[in-house]
């Protein structure tokens, strides 16, 4: 993580495009924000675009803007996100969620540094820096033809890969204590301690939802403990029932990542009582991606 921090520091001063890849919940949004905040564009706009939430019929209008009368509901002219960013930063979150047609239009902006509103005839120069994020399996999407290889290479001038939390075991407890301090501060209480058993359970869990899952787990444990010491009974079932990553038994019978992910999604759905929108928000994925994972794992 120190190496990552140094990479962010070096990349922040550059104008080149950045592609941040990593599993859901590893902190891609935080890295994008840091790249902007530490660089020379810090005082200019940071425009984040959640590509997964863009309606297929409104992608062009949202990204590129439109002139009055460009389509039925275009009663006034509107600037697109690239135009609004000016000389700041455009952050394309979950860029692989864009349809192939929209990827082609984005490629032209990346290459030509110009954008044209829908219904317009004049193109405008784009001076914003482009930072994009994608799932760790973006290269699989490129090979499968689901994401344009030319756009991939244009965005990946400066690549950043965020390792999953299960590969950063020493980070778990410092992060847990950091999140406990944050949630305690909102209630004007001192940060509670972690019992030895609770700390071991947190350290040994695989964290399929990565840092985001750890944050939500700590918040729920704080509420369950009423601000007192966090003990085993305050942790959710998926953490308590999972085998240790480091025990000899777990090494012999360690679940696959798919099995751990299935448990986490099922637990989240139970926690929100089946609310798909809230579950997708907690998991950090789109409703469409949640539907696909439910179908894949038989979580109907």
181 and 142 in one domain? no
Euclidean distance between CA atoms 38 and 23, whole angstroms: 24
The DSSP string of 19-34 is EEEE-TTSSHHHHHHH
> Which of 243, 262, 265, 264 is closest to 254 using CA atoms?
243
Residue-level pLDDT at 70? 63
Phi, psi of 299, rounded to the nearest 5 degrees: -95, 65
178 and 157 in one domain? no
Residue-level pLDDT at 114? 87
174 and 150 in one domain? no
Phi, psi of 62, rounded to the nearest 5 degrees: -65, -45
Euclidean distance between CA atoms 23 and 208, whole angstroms: 9
At residue 96's C-alpha, the angle toward residues 212 and 2, to 5°, is 45
Euclidean distance between CA atoms 136 and 4, whole angstroms: 16
153 and 107 in one domain? yes
Give the orientation angle of helix 172-186 with respect to helix 210-225, to 10 degrees: 50
Residue-level pLDDT at 140? 92
Residue-level pLDDT at 248? 46
Structural domain of residue 130, as residue ranges? 2-163
- Picking from 96, 130, 163, the residue at the C-terminal end of a domain is 163
Q: State the CATH number of the domain containing residue 216.
A: 1.10.8.60
134 and 119 in one domain? yes
257 and 196 in one domain? yes
42 and 26 in one domain? yes
37 and 170 in one domain? no
C-beta separation of 177 from 191 below 8 A = yes
Q: State the CATH number of the domain containing residue 59.
A: 3.40.50.300
At residue 171's C-alpha, the angle toward residues 169 and 174, to 5°, is 130
CB neighbours of 172 closer than 8 A, spacing ≥ 6?
A: 165, 202, 203, 205, 207, 214
Neighbours of 12 (CB within 10 A): 17
155 and 29 in one domain? yes
First and final C-alpha spacing in the chain: 38
Number of domains in the chain: 2
Side-chain-side CA neighbours of residue 81 (13 Å)? 22
C-beta separation of 49 from 63 below 8 A = yes
Provide the b/e sequence for 40-53 (b: ≥16 CB within 10 Å).
ebeebebbbbebbe
- Picking from 142, 163, 184, the residue at the C-terminal end of a domain is 163
pLDDT in tens, the chain (300 residues): 788 899 999 999 999 999 999 998 999 999 999 999 999 999 999 999 999 888 776 787 788 877 776 666 766 777 888 888 999 999 999 999 999 988 998 998 899 888 877 777 777 888 999 999 999 899 999 999 999 999 999 999 999 999 999 888 889 999 999 999 999 998 888 889 999 999 999 998 989 889 999 999 999 999 999 878 999 999 988 888 776 544 444 444 456 777 778 878 887 887 777 888 888 888 888 888 888 888 888 776
Cα Dmax for the chain? 67
198 and 59 in one domain? no
148 and 117 in one domain? yes
Provide the b/e sequence for 174-188 (b: ≥16 CB within 10 Å).
ebbbebbeebeeeee
247 and 132 in one domain? no
- Picking from 163, 185, 211, the residue at the C-terminal end of a domain is 163
């Amino acid at each position: 993580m120190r190496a990552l921090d140094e990479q962010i520091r070096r990349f922040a001063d550059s104008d080149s495009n950045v592609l941040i890849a990593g599993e859901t919940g590893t902190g891609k949004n935080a890295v994008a924000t840091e790249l902007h905040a530490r660089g020379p564009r810090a005082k200019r706009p940071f425009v984040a675009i959640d590509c997964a939430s863009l309606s297929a019929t409104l992608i062009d209008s949202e990204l590129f803007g439109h002139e009055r009368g460009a389509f039925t509901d275009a009663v006034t002219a509107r600037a697109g996100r690239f135009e609004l960013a000016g000389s700041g930063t455009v952050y394309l979150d979950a860029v692989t969620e864009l349809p192939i047609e929209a990827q082609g239009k984005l490629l032209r902006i990346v290459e030509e540094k110009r954008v044209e509103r829908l219904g317009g005839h004049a193109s405008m120069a784009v001076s914003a820096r482009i930072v994009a994020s994608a799932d760790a399996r973006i290269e699989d999407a490129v090979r499968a033809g689901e994401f344009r290889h030319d756009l991939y290479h244009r965005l990946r001038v400066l690549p950043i890969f965020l390792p999953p939390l299960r590969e950063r075991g020493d980070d778990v407890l410092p992060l847990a204590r950091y999140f406990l301090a944050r949630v305690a501060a909102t209630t004007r209480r001192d940060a509670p301690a972690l019992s030895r058993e609770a700390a071991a359970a947190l350290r040994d869990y695989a964290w399929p939802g990565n840092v985001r899952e750890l944050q939500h787990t700590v918040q729920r444990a704080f509420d369950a403990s009423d601000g007192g010491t966090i003990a085993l009974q305050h942790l959710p079932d998926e953490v308590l029932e999972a085998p240790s990553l480091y025990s000899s038994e777990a090494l012999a019978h360690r679940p696959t990542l798919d099995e751990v992910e299935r448990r986490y999604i099922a637990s989240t759905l139970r926690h929100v009582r089946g609310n798909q929108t809230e579950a997708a928000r907690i998991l950090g994925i789109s409703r469409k991606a949640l539907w696909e994972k439910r179908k894949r794992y038989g979580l109907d």
